[in-house]
């Protein structure tokens, strides 16, 4: 008996492809998952811009601000040690 849904699995009739049909079509079954595929493609897409991002970080505004944050972060520790 032929199903009205085309190339569906005739045994179930729910429109599910069998394993042999999915491998013949070239599609991988749903349980073959590529972990971290989105993260890898994102890094590959952004890779040409990483060098310019780090080069732009050595701006005249960034380096003094970083030093100031480090200095004021350690100021409490210096003050506490001085009082001991």
Q: What local confidence, expressed as pLDDT, does residue 21 receive?
A: 53
pLDDT of residue 42: 94
Ramachandran sector of residue 59 (left: φ over 0; alpha: ψ -120 to 50; beta: rest): beta
Query: Cα–chain-centroid distance for residue 58?
Result: 27
Query: Which pLDDT belongs to residue 46?
Result: 93
Alpha-carbon distance of 76 to 60, in angstroms, equals 26
Query: Could you report the per-residue pLDDT of 38-54, keeping only the tens digit for each?
Result: 999 999 999 999 888 88
Domain residue spans of the chain: 34-83
- Is the Cβ–Cβ distance between 8 and 14 less than 8 Å? yes
Residue stretches of the chain with pLDDT short of 70? 1-25, 84
Using CA atoms, how far residue 26 sits from 23, 33, 37, 41, in Å, is 5, 15, 19, 22
Instruction: Supply the pLDDT for residue 55.
Output: 87
Which pTM does this prediction carry? 0.38
């Amino acid at each position: 008996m032929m199903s009205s849904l085309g190339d569906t699995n005739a045994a179930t009739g729910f429109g599910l492809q069998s394993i042999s049909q999915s491998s013949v079509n070239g599609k991988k079954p749903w349980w073959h998952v590529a972990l971290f595929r989105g993260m890898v493609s994102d890094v590959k897409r952004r890779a040409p811009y990483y060098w310019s991002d780090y080069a732009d970080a050595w701006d005249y505004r960034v380096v003094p601000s970083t030093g100031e944050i480090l200095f004021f972060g350690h100021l409490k520790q210096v003050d506490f040690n001085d009082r001991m």
